[in-house]
Every structure is written in C-alpha cells, then in structure tokens.
Amino acid sequence: MARDRLDGVRDHYDVIVIGAGLAGMTSANNLAKCGRSVLLLEQHYNFGGMATWFRRKGGHIFDISLHGFPIGMIKSCRKYWTREIADCIVQLKGIVFDNPQFQLKTPFDRADFTRILVERFGIAPETVESFFDTARRMDFYDDQSMTTRELFEKFFPGRSDVVRLLMEPITYANGSTLDDPAITYGIVFSNFMSRGVYIFQGGTDKLIQMMRQEMVRTGVDLRKQVQVERIVVEDGRACGVIANGRRISAGAVLSNANLKTTVEKLVGPEHCPDELLEETRAVRLNNSSCQVYMGIKKGERIDYIGDLLFTSVSDVFDTKAMCARDVTSRTFSMYYPDTRPGSDRYAIVSSTNANWNDWANLSPEDYQRDKAHLIETTLAALEKYVPDIRSKLDHVEASTPVTFHHYTQQMHGSTFGTKFEGLKVSMDLPNHIPGLFHAGSVGIIMSGWLGAINYGVIVANELETYMFEQARTGGHDDTISTTEPMRS
Amino acid sequence: MGQQQVKEIILKIIETIAPDADLSDVKSDVRLRDQLDMDSMDFLDIVMELRKRYKVEVPKEDYMQLETLDSCAAYLAPKFEAVAAS
Ligand SMILES: Cc1cc2nc3c(=O)[nH]c(=O)nc-3n(C[C@H](O)[C@H](O)[C@H](O)COP(=O)(O)OP(=O)(O)OC[C@H]3O[C@@H](n4cnc5c(N)ncnc54)[C@H](O)[C@@H]3O)c2cc1C
C-alpha cells in the first residue's frame, strides 16, 4: 500500500499553506515564527516549486531558476530566513551581451551602465543620470498609464540599441514587455540593474535544504506529495482543505498555487462571488520558458567566458520574437565549479522565453521532434562561445512549458505567474472570501525569487492581521481592510 | 507608556531588522527612510514586530504614521497604553 503522506497530520491547524514554492515556504515559516500552527502541503516530491533542480546519471546536477536575482535577496533572506542562507549569496561579475547591435561585458551596476551608455552609446551623462533617478523614484503609487515604451521614448528617442540594453535582461528576468506599465519596469530595474546580479552559492538544492531545516526548527508541519484538491469554503469563509481525499480544517488558508488555479479550481465557481470570478478570468498569464540542460563530462573544463550571456541574433529587440518557437534569443547560464564549492563539475543551461500554445497541443512525435530541434539549434548557437561544446558534454536534455506545468502545476507553465493585474486580485481575495489568502507570482514586482519571498512575507502579515482580528472580535467581524502592495 | 520609551522600542526593533545600521544618531523628526536606507519591507517588519512582541496592531491605512521617531511615538503611545489596560 502507498505510504500515507498525511500520517500524523492533525485535524486542525491555525493555517494551511498550499504549495511549497518560495512564497509559500516563506509565508509558512513566518507564520510559524509568529506562533501559529502551520501545515504546509506540497504536491511534488521536492520543496521549492520553480526554485528547483534535478540530477542525472554521470554526476550531473542542473538548476532550473538559479540564473540571477537582485541584491535585495541578501537582506530578505537574512530577515525572513537565516543569516547562513544570506551568507551564501554571491555576485555574478560577468554579464555578457552579444547581439547584432552590440557586444559588451558588464558587472551590471549603475556605475558601469552609466559608463557604457555615455562612452559606447554616446548618451549625455545628464540624460543617463536623470533616467536612473526617474526609475529609482518610481513607486507603486505613481501614475500607471505611462508604458515602458513611452518611458524609453522620453529619455532615449529612436534609440533601439539603448532600449535593448536596458530592456532585454528585464524581459528575461520577468517576461515583461514594452507595453507594461513604466512603473513596473522602474521598480524592477532599480532593484536589478543598479547593483548587480546575484546567485546562491551551493546551488538550489542547498538553499531548499537549508530552508527545510529552518522550517523544521520553527515547527512547520511539512508534507510533500500531497495534492490539495479543494479549498473548503463554508458560509463564504475559507475553513480548510481537502487533500489526498482527507479533510483538514484551518483558521485560514494560504494558497501558493497559481492565482487562477486557486480561484477557478481549488475554490471553484460555485463558491466564488461573481465579481471575483470575472476579475480572475480576466487576469492574463505570463509567458513560459524552454530550457536546454548541458552536462559537461567529468574531467573536462570550460574557460571562463562570463556567467550570464544574453545572446540574440535578432536585428532588433522584439519581445514577440523572444517567445516564438523559432528562437532568436537565448540566455546561457554558465555554471562553473564554484557554483557548488567542492565540486569540479561544469554545466550550462540555456533559457528562452516560450508560449504554452506552441508546445501544449503537439502530437507526441511532433513534441519530440521540436524538442530535438531545440537542442540542436541551442548547441549550434552555443558553439560560438564554446566551440567544442559537442565533444565536451555527455548529457543534454530539454524542457518546455509542458515540463514546467507537469512538475509545478503552474498554469500553462508560466515562468512568472500572472501579469500585473493579478496582484490586485490576489490582494483582494480575502475581501471576497474571508480566511483565504494568496501568495505567489503575480505580476512583475511580486515574482522571481526575491519577489516571491517578499510577497510571502506581505501576505503572511495580512493573514496575521486577520487572525488577530478574529481573536479580538471572536470571529464576528468580517470586514478586512484592503491592502496596497508595497514597493519591494 | 511614555513617548521616550516608545522611541526606544522602535529603535530596538530597527536594530534587529537592520543590524548594520548606525543608530547612534537617529534624528527624531527626520524621516527614518531618509536616514537609514529603509524600504517598505523594513516598515512592514516594524509592524509585524509590534504585533508579535507587544500585541500592538497598526492598520494599513496608518503605516505612514511610522515615518519618523516622533510620529511613531505620538501614534503608538496610546496604543501601547490601550494594550496595557486591556
Ligand atoms: C525556467 C525558469 C527560470 C527562472 N529564472 C529565474 C531567475 O533567474 N531569477 C529569479 O529570481 N526567478 C527566476 N524564475 C522565477 C522564479 O523561479 C519564480 O518566480 C518563483 O520561484 C515562484 O515562486 P512561487 O512561490 O510564486 O511559485 P511556485 O514556485 O510556482 O510554487 C508553487 C508551489 O505550489 C505547488 N502546488 C501548486 N498547486 C498545488 C496543489 N493543488 N497542492 C499542493 N501543491 C501545489 C507547486 O508544486 C509548487 O511547488 C525562473 C522561473 C523559471 C520557470
């Protein structure tokens, strides 16, 4: 008989968290530290969600989403996790751009971008200064009608090369386009492109292991391979879940599943106020990704050519082309042995943005054919940077939007959850269904590793406020104040 | 509880949130954000610590009351008293 993954689980908890992605784990840990009894349920056999890794024969280990995050991660990990976790975060010094418009290498900080824009692109220093300051000052409360395209047009009219330099990494980092609100660009840009790109030394496996240990210490009841089938809503209030067929009750439920899945599937239309359902249906998803994982043979080495390579053969920057199946832009993440100190192994992961619809409806034969094509074209593109790559590797495989969906149940394999408008729906959820909270990738600011962690904290605070009020009023007060998201 | 005590409590909380910050010379009437490189997550941390340690709840619409040490003291002192009295 299959092992009962819910063995020893109690009938009631203060909070049940659905999903052990970075947002879910951070919320769970935070609430446990506040003295709440917390049950964390994850359907996969690993914790981490998109922050994950896998091993292959021959001693290979591949990271899925460890390509780079902003410096703010150090502070957030120290505050919401542990000093040991924060201490493993290191800067990537060699960020390379290579496309028909320019080739350059940069530590990716304000000083160097300023130098590049002035010396190489001939932009007036005052303009650069004023652009950086404008981006820095942008706040969630600012006017949202200006698009990123208009922002660039204002500062760098007609300069598609400048737009490419300043936008391409952000598009990779969060799938945003020139039509997204300028403020979301400004906030992410200030976080990301002003003080460098960082990663977790030791690999995703080590990070998740450390987080798991911390959650054991803080007393979270952790369960994996448990599928939450339903969120139980009674008298309009969320009061538990049904998982692996068993009902478990809770004072509040926090879902880290995709926002649309949470509302449309886990709660279900029959328990949803119409307004919430309509708003949720209108929320758009972000695009997904394809990746190619290349494992280098034991004993082989690769010269240092930079850490993160933004490459493109497209004449100009174009977010639509970046998602197309006929790939023109790739990011290569180079994993040298110091990614995992003590190891002597190298790996390369190529990432491209991709559309769910290009991959989801293929016949098995076509799917395999397209995957093989993806691998072949990726190797061909990589040969420009690592000429003898084919003879150096002894493992290569690809993942597609279908793969991401399969493992994380993230709707349409979306890399960064929903678009911007999802944030409002996510934040408003407890006003429609008291006791139900959502923390997970919604829009540009609240996704990525740092965004997910910070949003996990923001929502844990909302939930604590709710529990606090419940205790004070004996559960009779069902008005909860709405939240304005914070600038992270 | 006196306003001076509230200021000390806030500084103690900030010390745990930003262990590297120099708190020896924080001005009471200048925005904390401007003196200490604090972002909105840090202010949220203050709110969470106030709840956790002192059972003092700061509703969202009042977050801007935490701008300076002076405004913290004026706003929070009655709240600390209310908790103590209950
Ligand atoms: C290819 C790729 C590259 C990326 N690169 C970067 C990068 O370089 N830097 C960066 O900062 N970010 C990157 N990201 C994005 C980042 O990984 C995500 O934004 C972040 O990890 C999302 O965390 P989350 O908590 O919102 O959700 P998720 O990670 O999606 O977690 C949700 C969890 O809930 C579980 N779950 C869902 N439904 C149920 C259910 N019904 N029952 C039980 N469990 C359930 C899932 O299994 C999953 O574990 C990348 C993502 C991808 C896919």
**Both A172 and A113 in a single domain?**
yes
In sequence order, the β-bridge partners of residue A331 are: A310, A351
Backbone CA torsion sign across A92, A98, A104, A109: negative
CB contact under 8 A, A481 and B48: no
Give A485's pLDDT tier (boundaries 50, 70, 90): very low
Closest in B44, B47, B52 to A34, CB measured: B52
CATH for B60: 1.10.1200.10
Total domains, chain B: 1
Domain that holds residue B11: 3-85
* Ligand 1 probe mutation, A39, A50, A244, A352, most atoms within 8 A of CB: A50
Residue whose token pair is 């962690």: A453
pLDDT, tens digit (0-9, with 9 covering 90-100), for A256-271 = 999 999 999 999 999 9
- B43 to chain A, closest Cα gap in Å: 10
Q: Which of A74, A75, A136 to mutate to test the interface with B (most CBs of B within 10 A)?
A: A75
Establish if A351 belongs to a structural domain.
no
**Both A170 and A216 in a single domain?**
no
What is the C-alpha separation between A51 and A87, in angstroms, rounded? 18
What ligand 1 atom has the least distance to the C-alpha of A46? Answer: 49
In sequence order, the β-bridge partners of residue A90 are: A199
Establish if A291 belongs to a structural domain.
no
Higher pLDDT, A455 or A486: A455
Residue B39, pLDDT score: 84
Total domains, chain A: 2
Residue A125, pLDDT score: 97
The answer to whether B20 faces chain A, any CB pair under 8 Å, is no
- A457 to chain B, closest Cα gap in Å: 9
Domain that holds residue A440: 12-50+206-284+415-473
The answer to whether A139 faces chain B, any CB pair under 8 Å, is no
Domain edge (last residue) among A174, A195, A216: A195
pLDDT, tens digit (0-9, with 9 covering 90-100), for A332-369 = 999 999 999 999 999 999 999 899 999 999 999 999 99
CB contact under 8 A, B39 and A464: no
Per-residue pLDDT of chain B (86 residues; tens, 9 = 90+): 789 999 999 999 999 998 888 898 999 999 998 888 888 899 999 999 999 999 999 998 899 899 999 999 999 999 999 999 98
Q: How are beta strands A95-99 and A308-312 bridged, if at all? A: parallel
**Both A216 and A161 in a single domain?**
no
The answer to whether A230 faces chain B, any CB pair under 8 Å, is no
Residue A327, pLDDT score: 74
Q: How are beta strands A197-200 and A89-92 bridged, if at all? A: antiparallel
- Cβ(A441) – ligand 1 distance below 6 Å: yes
Give A2's pLDDT tier (boundaries 50, 70, 90): low
Residue A488, pLDDT score: 37
The answer to whether B17 faces chain A, any CB pair under 8 Å, is yes
Domain edge (last residue) among A140, A163, A195: A195
CB contact under 8 A, B41 and A464: no
- Residue whose Cα lies nearest atom 5 of ligand 1: it is A65
What is the C-alpha separation between A371 and A27, in angstroms, rounded? 36
> Which of A350, A278, A317, A52 lies closest to A163 in space, CA to CA?
A317
Establish if A233 belongs to a structural domain.
yes
CATH for A249: 3.50.50.60
**Both A249 and A212 in a single domain?**
yes
CB pairs under 8 A between A and B: 43
Residue A142, pLDDT score: 63
**Both A279 and A419 in a single domain?**
yes
pLDDT, tens digit (0-9, with 9 covering 90-100), for A457-478 = 999 999 999 998 888 887 654 4
Domain edge (last residue) among A195, A221, A256: A195
End-to-end alpha-carbon separation of chain A, Å? 47
What is the C-alpha separation between A433 and A270, in angstroms, rounded? 12
* Ligand 1 probe mutation, A256, A287, A455, most atoms within 8 A of CB: A256
Query: Cα separations (Å) of B3 from A302, A322, B43, B48, B79?
Result: 62, 57, 19, 20, 11
What is the C-alpha separation between A110 and A99, in angstroms, rounded? 21
**Mean pLDDT confidence for A198-205:** 98
Residue A19 Cα to ligand 1 middle (Å): 9
- Cβ(A398) – ligand 1 distance below 6 Å: no
Give A396's pLDDT tier (boundaries 50, 70, 90): very high
- Cβ(A447) – ligand 1 distance below 6 Å: yes
- Cβ(A69) – ligand 1 distance below 6 Å: yes
Residue A475, pLDDT score: 65
**Mean pLDDT confidence for A203-214:** 98
Higher pLDDT, A145 or A151: A151
Establish if A313 belongs to a structural domain.
no
What percent of chain A stands above pLDDT 90?
Answer: 77
Round the average pLDDT of chain A to a whole number and report it. 92
Residue A54 Cα to ligand 1 middle (Å): 15
- The ipTM estimated for the assembled molecules is 0.89
Higher pLDDT, A190 or A488: A190
Q: A9-13, A62-66, A111-115, A177-181: lowest mean pLDDT where?
A: A177-181
pLDDT, tens digit (0-9, with 9 covering 90-100), for B15-24 = 999 888 889 8
Residue A316, pLDDT score: 81
Residue A16, pLDDT score: 98
pLDDT at A445 over 80: no
Amino acid symbol at A127? T
Give A293's pLDDT tier (boundaries 50, 70, 90): very high
